[in-house]
């Protein structure tokens, strides 16, 4: 669907997967006016299909659009487009336990603009692809590398929204870590180089005793929808949950560390390496991360009561 200056987004339409035509002067190509979202459709044991909190992705896109001076679809338009794309691709949704349909909404400045200012036209589109489980052969603990050189976001930047401009700058850090056998990078804050922020596409949590902690979102960390859901699930299960500044030293002394995101769901961390020092964490079925993972997946596929009304059946 398209939207020109000061108008609402028009009603969109379904079409076969194909290329998008853009002016060379499109705002997205020249000044990076682009936002994306990521969500999944899951198949339940009885064949029904569920989305998980798609309204939250729509709200996050609106907040991002405000930050990047873009026009955005209403939350209703966003959710309708995600529903229609999922329904049209229903036959591609894998059976329960075998994966999901990954859905990628995109909002771009599609209108031409030569000088630095907001594009005169925006395009909202949604595409989808079936994906397998993040871990092909059961859960494998992540080995994370704490980068002391690259930052994912700076104070006053766009780290708090899902801007396309946040991702290419960390490719170098990720590739370098992967070459050394790590799964992903943990970024530190750019002011003190001391407080943990998040990994490249997931949020981070630590467990110490009965307390679960995760960095507070102060504009440099993406407010993950999985992060927020896990905070609620953990509180429901009786854990004390804290959102606050967490120094890297504290992470290294945790009982357990895990990450959350649409792609990884909840993933246990096996080790963290920082300035040449490597700490290893216990892993296993009885870990807090595994209890949270089972609960989240249970809700997403309709196996566990959805008391927060997170799940949308389509």
Active-site residue set:
162
Q: Does 261 bind ligand PMP (CB under 6 A)?
A: yes
Q: How far is the CB of 104 from ligand PMP (least distance, A)?
A: 11
The CA distance from 251 to 297, in Å, is: 26
Q: Does 198 bind ligand PMP (CB under 6 A)?
A: yes
Neighbour count for residue 237 (Cβ, 10 Å):
13
Identified binder of ligand PMP from the candidate list 227, 257, 267, 295, rule CB under 6 A: 227
Identified binder of ligand PMP from the candidate list 86, 213, 220, 226, rule CB under 6 A: 226
Instruction: Specify whether the CB–CB gap between 186 and 204 falls below 8 A.
Output: yes
Identified binder of ligand PMP from the candidate list 222, 233, 267, 301, rule CB under 6 A: 222
State whether the Cα torsion 11-16-18-21 is positive or negative.
Answer: negative
The CA distance from 293 to 21, in Å, is: 41
Residue closer to ligand PMP by CB (options 123, 220) is 220
Q: Which residue is nearest to ligand PMP (CB)?
A: 224
List C-alpha distances in Å: 141 to 98, 138, 182, 210, 282: 19, 10, 11, 21, 10
Q: Does 163 bind ligand PMP (CB under 6 A)?
A: no
Identified binder of ligand PMP from the candidate list 123, 203, 217, 265, rule CB under 6 A: 203
Residue closer to ligand PMP by CB (options 26, 221) is 221
Residue closer to ligand PMP by CB (options 121, 147) is 147
Q: How far is the CB of 103 from ligand PMP (least distance, A)?
A: 12
The string of DSSP letters for 267-313 reads EEEEEEEETTEEEE---STTSHHHHHHHHHHHHHTTSS--TT--EEE
Q: Does 224 bind ligand PMP (CB under 6 A)?
A: yes
Which phi-psi region, left, alpha or beta, contains residue 18 (left: φ > 0; alpha: ψ -120 to 50)? Answer: beta
Which residues contact ligand PMP (rule: CB under 6 A)?
Answer: 38, 198, 201-203, 222, 224-227, 260-262
């Amino acid at each position: 669907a398209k939207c020109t200056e000061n108008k609402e987004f028009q009603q969109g339409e379904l079409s076969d997967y194909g290329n998008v035509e853009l002016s060379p002067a499109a705002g997205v190509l020249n000044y990076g006016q682009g936002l994306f979202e990521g969500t999944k459709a899951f198949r339940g044991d009885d064949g029904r299909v569920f989305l998980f909190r798609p309204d939250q992705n729509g709200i996050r896109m609106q907040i991002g659009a405000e930050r990047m001076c873009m026009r955005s679809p209403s939350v209703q338009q966003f959710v309708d487009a995600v529903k229609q794309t999922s329904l049209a691709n229903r036959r591609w949704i894998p059976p329960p336990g075998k994966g999901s349909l990954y859905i990628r909404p995109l909002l771009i400045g599609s209108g031409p603009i030569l000088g630095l200012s907001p594009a005169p036209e925006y395009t909202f589109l949604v595409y989808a692809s079936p994906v397998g489980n993040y871990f092909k052969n059961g859960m494998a603990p992540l080995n994370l590398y704490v980068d002391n050189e690259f930052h994912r976001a700076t104070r006053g930047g766009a780290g708090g929204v899902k801007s396309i401009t946040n991702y290419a700058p960390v490719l170098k850090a990720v590739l370098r870590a992967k070459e050394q056998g790590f799964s992903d990078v943990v970024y530190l804050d750019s002011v003190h180089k001391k407080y943990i922020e998040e990994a490249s596409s997931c949020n981070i949590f630590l467990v110490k005793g009965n307390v679960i902690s995760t960095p507070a979102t102060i504009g440099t960390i993406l407010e993950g929808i999985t992060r927020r859901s896990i905070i609620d699930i953990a509180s429901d299960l009786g854990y004390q949950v804290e959102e606050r500044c967490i120094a890297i030293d504290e992470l290294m002394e945790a009982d357990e560390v895990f990450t959350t995101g649409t792609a990884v769901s909840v993933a246990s961390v096996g080790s963290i390496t920082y300035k040449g020092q490597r700490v290893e964490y216990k892993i296993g079925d009885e870990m807090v991360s595994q209890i949270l993972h089972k609960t989240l997946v249970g809700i997403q596929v309709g196996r566990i009561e959805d008391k927060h009304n997170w799940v949308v059946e389509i």
